[in-house]
Amino acid sequence: MKRFSPLFLALGLTFSAQASDGNDVEVLHWWTSGGEARSVDTLKEMMKREGHVWRDFAVAGRAGESAINTLRIRALSGNPPDAAQIKGPEIQEWGKLGFLASVDDVAKEQRWNELVPHRVSDYLKVDGHYVAVPFNIHRVNWLWANADVLNKVGVQPPQTLDEFFSVAEKIKAAGYIPLALGNEPWQETTLFELIALAVMGTDEFHKAFIEQDSDALTSNKMRETLEVFRRMKQYTDIDSPGRNWSDTTSLVIDGKAAMQMMGDWAKGEFLAAGKQAGKDFLCIPAPGTANQFSFNIDSFVFFKNGATQTTESQKMLAKLILDPDFQREFNLSKGSIPVRVDIDMEGFDACAQDSMQAFLRAAATDNLVASLSHNMAIGRASQIALFDVISRFFNDDNVDIDETMRHIRAAVLADRL
Positions in the binding site for ligand GAL (CB under 6 A): 30-31, 36, 63-64, 138, 245, 265, 296, 298, 374
Nearer to ligand GAL among residue 5 and residue 121 (C-beta): 121
Nearer to ligand GAL, 77 or 244 (CB): 244
Dihedral sign for Cα atoms in the order 92, 201, 404, 143 = negative
Interhelix angle for 324-334 vs 34-49, to 10°?
160
Number of C-beta neighbours around residue 34 at 10 A:
17
Shortest CB 330 distance to ligand GAL, Å: 11
Q: Which is nearer to ligand GAL, 90 or 298 (CB)?
A: 298
Give the orientation angle of helix 185-205 with respect to helix 380-395, to 10 degrees. 110
- For ligand GAL, the closer of residues 374 and 380 by Cβ is 374
- Outline where 159-184 has alpha helix (H): 161-173
Minimum separation from the CB atom of position 326 to ligand GAL (A): 15
CB of 83 to ligand GAL, least distance (A): 15
DSSP alpha helix (H) spans, 54-160:
65-76, 89-96, 104-110, 112-115, 118-124, 147-153
Nearer to ligand GAL, 202 or 296 (CB): 296
Choose between 102 and 296: whose C-beta lies nearer to ligand GAL: 296
Q: Looking at this protein, which amino acid is placed at residue 384? A: I
Burial of 153 (0-12, 13-18, 19+ CB in 10 A): middle
The partner residues of 145 in beta bridges, in order of sequence, read 259, 282
Minimum CB separation from ligand GAL for residue 159, in Å? 25
CB of 61 to ligand GAL, least distance (A): 8
Question: In angstroms, what is the minimal distance from the CB of 57 to ligand GAL?
Answer: 16
Task: Please give the Cα distance from 228 to 224 (Å, whole number).
Answer: 6
Rounded least distance, CB 87 to ligand GAL, Å? 7
| Pairing of β 281-285 and β 24-29 | unpaired
Q: Tell me how far, at minimum, the Cβ of 250 lies from ligand GAL, in Å.
A: 14
The residue (of 137 and 358) whose beta carbon lies closer to ligand GAL is 137
* Least Cβ distance, residue 7 to ligand GAL (angstroms): 25
64 vs 285, which CB is nearer to ligand GAL?
A: 64
Phi and psi based region of residue 402 (left: phi greater than 0; alpha: psi -120 to 50; beta: remaining): alpha
Cα gap 132→100, rounded to integer Å = 9
Alpha helices in 346-396 (DSSP H): 350-364, 380-395
Q: Which is nearer to ligand GAL, 123 or 265 (CB)?
A: 265
**Smallest distance from ligand GAL to CB 301, Å:** 14
Q: How far apart are CA 105 and CA 111, in angstroms?
A: 10
Instruction: Output the DSSP codes for 29-54.
Output: E---SHHHHHHHHHHHHHHHHTT-EE
Q: Cα 378 from chain centroid?
A: 13
Rounding to the nearest 10 degrees, give the CA dihedral for residues 338, 342, 343, 349: 70
Nearer to ligand GAL, 20 or 373 (CB): 373
